[in-house]
Homo-oligomer: A and B are copies of this chain.
Amino acid sequence: MMRITMEDVARHVGVSRALVSLAYRNRPGVSTETRERILHAGRELGYVPNRVAARLAGHGGNTLGVFLQDLHNDLFADLYEGTRAVADEAHKHLVLGVGALDGGRDAEALETLAQSRVDVVVAFGLQLPDTEVRTIAERVPMVCVLRGVADVDSVVSDNRHGARAATEHLIDLGHRRIAFLANPPSDGYMDRRHGYMETIAAAGLRPQVVQTTYSRETAAKDAGALLDGADAPTAIFAHNDQAAMGVLDALALRGLTPGRDVSVIGYDNSSLSKAPGTSLTTVDVDGVALGRSAAELALRRIEAPGAPSEWRTSFPTLVVRSTTGAPAA
């Protein structure tokens, strides 16, 4: 079956191919009447514009590539939502690429986006090393989100700020022994730890940092050791919600009530934290806003390809739920 092309429509109406193109793209230079006739004929013939051909023939400037690190993570859905809203307003098309949890597909997905000739790539949560990111950014303009990369447009959330807000909240409630359940330092993300450390120091308190992993089980074990130890903390700030869940598990195991016996704060405001019977106090990163911001940078980059790179920082907010309260008397 022969595909209907623009040529067919043009011939059918008795105009040139170029005019059909203008009509379909709603561009000026076509009389209203002719436009009607063209669109009508198109519908009649069952014409479907070929976007691939359009992309090849056009001069670009209207396609954003979007890289999503992990489809399982709700935060990326929010990020995407924000980016899409802005892209829609600007009438840009989106082309998606998806990574894998372990980061093993990042390079491949990015390569595909580059080969797809998108004008700029918005990358949510890349796990690639900085040097590799920079190499790719030389070929196709990039906006890195969550993970900032020097000399590359970036939109990040101020983790230090979030950690400070969480720690201050606990101090304000009257806690004096506040522990931080930290992420592995190998991942390079130290900001949450720093935020905790400086706030504790500023309050003249003693820091208590225990290193854990991303797994809920490990976090439960590490939190348990803390709780059973001498001088047990009255509040625990976990590096993310997953770890905070582990802390809650540890509390439950000991018959302790979160928010009353021990206060717990997580980080991310993931769907976990909103589950029933949990209602975790946490730090919210506002993915939609980050996504919007990233898209704006991307559009700017299309306008001005040579402009110096820009970093944007957004400030997360504390979401107080029921796992924090004044320390037990």
Residues of A within 8 A of B (CB): 46, 48-53, 55-56, 70-72, 74, 76-77, 80-81, 84, 93, 95-96, 98, 112, 114-117, 139, 216, 245, 248-249, 252, 271-272, 275-278
Contact = CB atoms under 8 A, between A and B. Distances in A.
A269 to B, nearest CB: 14
A48 B115 CA distance: 6
Contacts of A276: 216, 245, 248-249, 252, 272, 275, 277-278
A276 to B, nearest CB: 5
A181 B278 CA distance: 23
Q: How many copies does the complex hold?
A: 2
The 7 closest A-B pairs by CB, nearest first: A275-B275, A71-B77, A277-B277, A96-B96, A51-B115, A72-B77, A245-B276
Contacts of A77: 70-72
A98 B277 CA distance: 32
Given A71-B81, A275-B277, 4 more contacts: A48-B139, A51-B116, A96-B98, A245-B276
Contacts of A278: 275-278
B55 A115 contact: no
A71 B84 CA distance: 12
A77 B112 CA distance: 20
Contact of A52 (B56, B84, B216, B277): B56
A46 B136 CA distance: 11
Contacts of A216: 276
The A interface is mostly helix, strand or loop, or mixed, namely helix
Contact of A252 (B48, B80, B96, B277): B277
20 contacts: A48-B115, A49-B115, A50-B56, A50-B117, A51-B116, A51-B117, A52-B116, A56-B56, A71-B77, A93-B112, A96-B98, A245-B275, A245-B276, A248-B277, A252-B276, A271-B271, A271-B272, A275-B278, A277-B278, A278-B278
Contacts of A81: 71
A112 B139 CA distance: 26
A114 B72 CA distance: 26
A139 B139 CA distance: 36
A44 to B, nearest CB: 15
A84 to B, nearest CB: 8
A49 B52 CA distance: 15
A114 B48 contact: yes
Nearest to A272: B275
Contacts of A56: 50, 52-53, 56
A116 B96 CA distance: 13
A72 B74 CA distance: 6
A52 B50 contact: no
A112 B55 CA distance: 13
Nearest to A79: B71
A50 B52 CA distance: 11
Contacts of A95: 95-96
Given A276-B249, A278-B276, A76 B80 contact: no
A276 B118 CA distance: 42
A74 B271 CA distance: 11
Nearest to A80: B71
